[in-house]
Structure 1
Amino acid sequence: MKHRTSHRASIIGRTAGRLGVLSAACLTALAVAAPADAVPFSSHPGRGVAAFADHAATHASRVHPDQYDDSFTVHELGSVYSVGANNRATAVSAGCSTQHPCRSIALSFQIVTMAGDNVRLNATNLGRAINEQCPGCQTLAGAYQFIVSTPQPFRLSQGARNQLLAVHRRLDALRTSDDPISVVKQRADDLAAQVKAILDREASSAPKSGVVNPLAKSGPSVTMHRHYDGAN
């Protein structure tokens, strides 16, 4: 299975333009908002091509000095031959003073499950933290992207969904944390490790391919991409 990952923002747009897949129909694959205690799930049955984006964004200022946002979305694709997955976290702190600094934290978790041999994958995973005239401000952006590749399509078990829901709730709970952003970052890393362990277990029980293909991968794989940017 061929995976090509880039932090450049333009790569999905260029690839999608060549393939002609970013039509209005494909754009409806964007994740739909869900209640805070639920994990948004999206699926793309029978399309073969999928393109979607997830984003957590914060903007702290003197008016709103303490801002937190997180995104946690699962995309179950089934059998595909082309995927464009975009995951971003953007945190901005602007115009606060040294005496009254801002705190801006954005964390985005994106999970993608897909099946097939030699899938064309264009994945962007980017965290960006920006301080604009904000001395002493705490600004942190973290993006986590999990790619689950299996020979045959499968769906996450209800047990795994419940476990991911629990992780999402703990991620939401960071909103009320007064810990330094270095500690918040470590806690987010710990949650990402839990997600990776859940997906590893699920992938190991996915259906095996019954067709012998010398070009196919030997089995399922779970790849995690992590990108952080922070300034304080």
Structure 2
Amino acid sequence: MSQQRHRAPTRRLAPLLRTGLLTTAAAVLVAGTPVVASAAPGTARTGSAVRVDTASAISTASPIRPHDFQVAFEVRQYGDLVGAGADNRALASSRFCDGNLHCSSTALSFQIITMGGDHSRLHTTNVSKASNNHCTGCQTLAGAYQFVLDTPEPITLGPDALRRLRDVETALRAARNQSPQTLKATVDGLVQQVITILDEAAAAQPASPGLKAAAAPARPKVTLNRTLDGWPGAN
């Protein structure tokens, strides 16, 4: 199956970064922890920091493990940064199964980013790939979902928002035995739940001090980057 790649252009929110800044940051990659409850809350920063994060779900089905369902679900609260890079990947493969095994491989990756400030610049990559290698009648699905919330001021998701995101993760993991059509509908519903949670968090953010209500900018919306591979009717 073909690889679907979404490489969003670098989003310019303020003056451009110095050339090579994100390249330098990549050399000091910050490892992610795929548990919502452990995601560090965003804090106000000096605007001089750069973060680079990756999220990945990798699933492989074979005669040894005929059915594999992998989920990555990560929340990153960046606060006020100069710039950030976010890479999200869902990779699924099925190998060397015959028709009697009915092998299935599913990889789903949710990467949730919040960031704020006047000097932020974000580069995102979102990739899904599903492949079959000598696999008769195999079901191989990959879905990469990347949510980005930019706000004028640094935002911290509160306990209620984090709890609701944990509920989304639990529901996503519980969908492992669903058919592709049912799973697609389930995931689409959970994606909308994440967008709603982030939209409500942005709407609850206090306006900047001294900014008149009439002059306040429109509330930021969530940007969703989504790529699918292997799904019936989605290629």
Q: What's the TM-score once normalised by structure 1's chain length?
A: 0.82
Structure 1 residues 1-232: aligned runs within 5 Å: 7-8=6-7, 18-19=20-21, 20-24=24-28, 27=29, 29-32=30-33, 34=35, 39-42=37-40, 46=45, 48-117=49-118, 119-175=120-176, 177=177, 179-210=178-209, 218-230=218-230
Residues 106 and 142 in structure 1, CA contact (< 8 A), matched pair in contact too? yes
For residues 33 and 167 of structure 1, do their structure 2 counterparts lie closer, same or farther at Cα, with a shift above 3 Å needed?
closer
Superposed CA deviations along residues 18-65 of structure 1, whole A, max 9, x for unmatched, are: 2222233xx2x221254xxx5441457535211000000101001100
Specify every segment of 5 or more residues in structure 2 that has no aligned partner in the other structure, as ranges: 11-16
Superposed CA deviations along residues 162-197 of structure 1, whole A, max 9, x for unmatched, are: 11111111111123x1x3222212211111111111
Specify every segment of 5 or more residues in structure 1 that has no aligned partner in the other structure, as ranges: 1-5
For residues 154 and 185 of structure 1, do their structure 2 counterparts lie closer, same or farther at Cα, with a shift above 3 Å needed?
same
SS in structure 1 at match of 2:174: helix
2:13 is matched with none
Counterpart of 1:223, as a letter, is: T
Q: What's the TM-score once normalised by structure 2's chain length?
A: 0.81
Q: Distance in 2 between the 1:184 and 1:121 partners?
A: 31
For residues 72 and 118 of structure 1, do their structure 2 counterparts lie closer, same or farther at Cα, with a shift above 3 Å needed?
same
Identity value in percent: 37
For residues 98 and 164 of structure 1, do their structure 2 counterparts lie closer, same or farther at Cα, with a shift above 3 Å needed?
same
SS in structure 2 at match of 1:189: helix
Superposition RMSD in Å: 2.6
Counterpart of 1:225, as a letter, is: N
User: Cα offset for 1:95?
Assistant: 0.6
User: Cα offset for 1:82?
Assistant: 0.8
